[in-house]
A and B are shown apart, each in its own frame.
Chain A
Amino acid sequence: MTAHLPVLIVVLPLAAAVIVPLISLASAKAAFAVACLTLAAAAVASCKALSHVLAHGALRYELGGWAPPWGIEYVVDPLSGGVAALIALIAVCVVVYAGPQVNGGSSARGGMFHGLFLLLVTGLLGIVLTGDMFNLYVFLEISSLAAYALLASGGIRGTVATFRYLIVGTIAATFYLLGTGYLYALTGTLNMADMAVRLTAVMDTRAYGVAVVLIVIGLAIKAALFPLHGWLPDAYTYAPAPVTGFIAAVMAKVSAYALFRVLYFVTPAEGASAQALMLLGWVSVIAVLAGSILAMAQQDIRRMLAYSSVGQMGYIVLGFALGTPAALIGSLLHLFGHAVMKGCLFLAVGGIRWRTGIYRISDYAGMGRRMPLTMAAFVVAALAMIGLPPTLGFFSKWYLLSGAVEAGAWLFVIALVLSSLLGIVYFFRVFEFAYLKAPEAGQPTPPRQELPLHMLAPILVLTAAVLVFGLLNQQVVGGIIRHALPGALAP
């Protein structure tokens, strides 16, 4: 059974993605239940695989019995297992939040939503677990296509934003595919482990350099790294709340994961990839600052959070660029932490819009009394984004900072500190409106309108995770992340 876990994690949601829309024609509730159970099963399977891997070493699965390097291989190592568990667990939270009737639509539309959502999760889990460069492309497209459909379901502006994302995303995927083609031409293999061995012989060729550049650009667009982030704010802003909550939490992270996988596990450490990382470092410094500054300028809270994501992706890539153990731990911890925090924020903000129709920051007056629990969750997650102890966000920032201090990268240090200060500005602006401004005089005081339990519970679970994993971050770092570092840096 354990031997089949790597493929089960991917196949379960894939199968359910086909069945759920059909079931929904009969019963929306049944379809919802199947979707929930499938994702829960995927989450259990990935956690089980992760704990197995941590105890006994990487799990490899040969798809269809074809041995690598010819066949496609699925690999669960501490890195991919950890990210897969994160995706699956957040997916469970989001599907519960979405509930059986998404946006009050018909049951058939609800079924389509759940089907597409399962397909998106399949794609993301596939990207993480595959050990094959081309297979990664396939899953990248599966997840993207599902995401386009989901994002476009948010009304006319969502459709326009998604069309833009479709074009940009397709270009990004093409970049990645071209790069992979070059590498295939150079090495004759698509298996990552095999390619890593063979690339050392050809690392001085110009074609290799071009391949690295193409792959890095493609994945950087997908990860919305400034200045390639243009598609993200609109796409996040106009999509339905559960979709944004999930995509903002994990989708860009998975692209960052792919970047990490390629640059640290496939390409040789010196040469083109080192230069690419150095360049990414400088770009990410700009991303960290630009994202925060743009976030300050927003009136729409969803756009504010979206730009904040652009800045936070900079944090993650910045750690990759520094490359010291502390910095990489910081990046991976932030990859995990930001997924939880940003997921929580978007779900809270989406819930507020769903309940009250409010999405402009200036309309948040009195929200602290109208939806106290949702706003409390928002506050905790926002403090974590700023990086105040003892939240998860503080500890990832700590590792990034200490990595930067160890490396003597003072500009990075300054960028990280400045970004926290800017974060204080844009998040406390929301707090001021929500808690200190009374609703306009003459208006009746709005009643308490807390979210229904199925929406509130996932938000509170994520909030608790922000605090609990903050205090227990050493368990995450020592138990999983240290083992997920590339071979030369692992303990």
Chain B
Amino acid sequence: MSHYPLLAVLVSLLAAGAILLSDRRPNVREAWTFVAAAVKFLLVVSMLPTVLAGGVIEATYAELLPGWSLHLRADLFGLIFALLAAGLWILTSIYSVGYMRAGHYTHQTGYFASFAVCLSATMGIAFAGNLITFFLFYEMLTLATYPLVVHDRTEEAVAAGRKYLAYTLGAGQLLLLAIVAIAVLAPGAAFQPGGFLMGKAPLGVLGLVFVLGLIGVGAKAAIMPLHSWLPAAMVAPTPVSALLHAVAVVKAGTFGCLRLVHYVFGVDLLRAMGADTVLAVAAALTILLASVRALGEQNLKRRLAYSTVSQLSYIVLGAALGSTAAVAGAMFHIVAHGFMKITLFFCAGAIYVKTHKLEIPDLAGLGRQMPITFGAFTLGALGLAGTPLFVGFISKWNLGMGALQSGQAVFLAVFVASGILNFAYFFPIVYTAFFGRPGQAMRFDEVGAALWAPLAATAVVSLILGIYPNAGLQFYHLAWSAAESVMAGAGQALAGGGTP
């Protein structure tokens, strides 16, 4: 029994309460956010050595349903997500304070409180040891994000909020149905590398359950055609888009997807059902179609949103391919995409705060006015396109290797095509910014340090991780170990003939 995972969940939940009580004193209120972010990060990092050494840190609390307790467990895969979210929360908090104050936003107390609750839910998702715990925090994340999406209280924001709820809560009900069915088939089962459902029911029944569960997590992972809430939700303030729509919410979806495929069903069961091909094709189509759609968007945030839709399906595709390298690549891409995409969203926010421009043709020449911002943007874009020396290359290399290992070289072509499309929709932005002809002369006029420092930091990190993928928090090592444990578990499940 170790309570570290629970503490990591609770610290920001308690902070949310403190933030609400400090409504009238903004500096005290923001201090709570930073204290909670720092404590949370330290708690998560302190679990790293044990988990790297092959241990798990877990504890069970109140029994929620027969055999299913509130079970929190830090394993290899969960820790990847937790480290990423906790680390980026610190940077996002700095950025948020700068952004919200520079933009003179109202309702900031509710904003920071909801943000803290979101981070609690994200930790809970990362550390969930079984499906009921996962579902509890998954729904909590949906609810805590809703106030952030509708933050502006405009007609457009309210409409986006409705769309968001319709997709995520609707999908949540299907996920619930899948979890109920799994509870009937395998009562009280915890997540297990390699899955635990093999042989529990006829393939047809399991296939139906898989589809329900996949829709449940796929809506948050924005797999087409369940993606359209994500571009709509871009109406939220940019830090929200950055952390929640590039890191926490959508990554919770892809994280759930990997958990469902490799810790509940198992890749062999998936292949027996034929679901791996279906999932892979859906993901590949999402990658390509969303990239094409991104080409057609003239609004920067919406283009980034479609880019996110496309990149998330890298992870889903990696999960579906199911070879060691593909799974490792998918898990690592959660981190890689997190750092790169948050850089781009931070940049979009910085541009908006400074110039109130988000249409791409209006950005002409801004690279000379805001060199740090656009420099970081360029690094992030290069990374997302999978250029060597950037973190995006590492995950894409592994995903491509995985496609070959699974004997499905066609998906390697998808990754390559997507890389080209990434260049096609990012580089016009970079070109316009640096070489476009502005209406007036441009002078150096960068945003405040609270805004540029976080985005420079994430850009630099995505460069460092591209050269030394194990630097600092050992993400690459964690991803490979997790992938290997999943494969070993799958082997055992197969050897055991599916008996529990």
Chain A residues near B (Cβ < 8 Å): 383, 388-390, 395, 398, 401-402, 405-406, 413, 417, 420-421, 424, 428, 432, 435-438, 471-474
Contacts and interface: CB of A to CB of B under 8 A. Distances in A.
A417 to B, nearest CB: 5
B404 interface: no
Given A389-B135, A395-B65, A436-B153, A421 B181 contact: no
> How would you classify the secondary structure of chain B's contact residues: helix, strand, loop or mixed?
helix
Given A389-B135, A417-B173, A402 B180 contact: yes
* Residue of A390, A395, A405, A472 with highest tally of chain B CB at under 10 A: A390
9 contacts: A389-B140, A390-B64, A390-B136, A401-B180, A405-B177, A405-B181, A405-B184, A436-B150, A474-B65
Most buried by B among A383, A401, A472: A401
B183 interface: yes
Nearest to A470: B64
Contact of A474 (B66, B174, B176): B66
B64 A388 contact: no
Nearest to A414: B177
Interface in B48-90: 62-66, 70
Contacts of B158: 432, 436
Cβ-closest 4 pairs across A and B? A389-B136, A474-B63, A401-B180, A417-B173
A402 B228 CA distance: 31
A472 B183 contact: no
A402 B65 CA distance: 11
A185 to B, nearest CB: 44
Contact of B64 (A395, A401, A420): A395
Contact of A472 (B62, B136, B177): B62
B153 A420 contact: no
A349 B170 CA distance: 27
B165 interface: yes
Contacts of B143: 383, 388
Contacts of A436: 150, 153, 158, 161
Interface string B132-151: 10011001100100010010
B169 interface: yes
Interface of A is mostly: helix
A471 B64 CA distance: 6
Given A436-B153, A436-B158, A474-B65, 14 more contacts: A389-B139, A390-B64, A398-B65, A402-B183, A405-B180, A406-B184, A417-B173, A417-B176, A432-B161, A436-B161, A471-B62, A471-B64, A471-B70, A474-B62
A424 B64 CA distance: 23
A402 B184 contact: yes
A153 B213 CA distance: 51
Nearest to A473: B64
A437 B158 CA distance: 9
Contacts of A413: 177
A445 to B, nearest CB: 13
Nearest to A376: B20
Interface string B164-192: 01000110011011001101100000000
A383 B176 CA distance: 15
A474 B62 CA distance: 8
A432 B64 CA distance: 31
A474 B70 CA distance: 12
B184 A424 contact: no
A435 B146 CA distance: 12
A424 B169 CA distance: 8
Contacts of B140: 389
Contacts of A471: 62, 64, 70
Contacts of A401: 176-177, 180
Nearest to B67: A474
Interface in B430-489: none
A365 to B, nearest CB: 11
A429 to B, nearest CB: 10
- Most chain B CB inside 10 Å of its own CB: which residue of A383, A389, A417, A421: A389
Interface string B106-135: 000000000000000000000000001001
A383 B142 CA distance: 12
Contacts of B139: 388-389
Nearest to B185: A405
A437 B154 CA distance: 9
B18 to A, nearest CB: 16
A436 B146 CA distance: 11
Contacts of A406: 184
Contacts of B162: 428
Contacts of B180: 398, 401-402, 405
Contacts of A474: 62-66
Contacts of B147: 435
Contact of A421 (B132, B161, B173): B173
A219 to B, nearest CB: 30
A382 to B, nearest CB: 11
Contacts of B132: 389
A473 B62 CA distance: 9
A398 B66 CA distance: 11
Contact of A420 (B70, B173, B184): B173
B169 A421 contact: yes
A383 B172 CA distance: 14
A388 B143 CA distance: 10
B13 to A, nearest CB: 13
Contact of B170 (A421, A437, A473): A421
A17 B161 CA distance: 51
A420 B173 CA distance: 8
A410 to B, nearest CB: 10
A383 B183 CA distance: 23
B114 to A, nearest CB: 12
A388 B135 CA distance: 10
A428 B255 CA distance: 28
A422 to B, nearest CB: 11
Nearest to B139: A388
B188 to A, nearest CB: 12
A435 B72 CA distance: 33
A326 to B, nearest CB: 9
Contacts of B173: 417, 420-421
Nearest to B181: A405
B177 to A, nearest CB: 6
A428 B66 contact: no
B298 to A, nearest CB: 29
B153 A438 contact: yes
A432 B177 CA distance: 27
B45 to A, nearest CB: 28
Contacts of B177: 401, 405, 413, 417
Interface in B214-259: none
Contacts of A402: 180, 183-184
Contacts of A438: 153
A424 B153 contact: no
Contacts of A424: 165, 169
A432 B161 CA distance: 10
Nearest to B110: A435
A472 B139 CA distance: 19
Contacts of B65: 395, 398, 473-474
A417 B135 CA distance: 15
Interface string B253-278: 00000000000000000000000000
A436 B135 CA distance: 27
Nearest to B135: A389
A428 B177 CA distance: 22
Nearest to B153: A436
A432 to B, nearest CB: 6
A15 to B, nearest CB: 41
- Most-contacted residue by chain A among B70, B173, B183 (CB, 10 A): B173
A401 B62 CA distance: 21
Contacts of A432: 158, 161
A438 B132 CA distance: 37
A439 to B, nearest CB: 12
Nearest to A477: B66
A80 B153 CA distance: 49
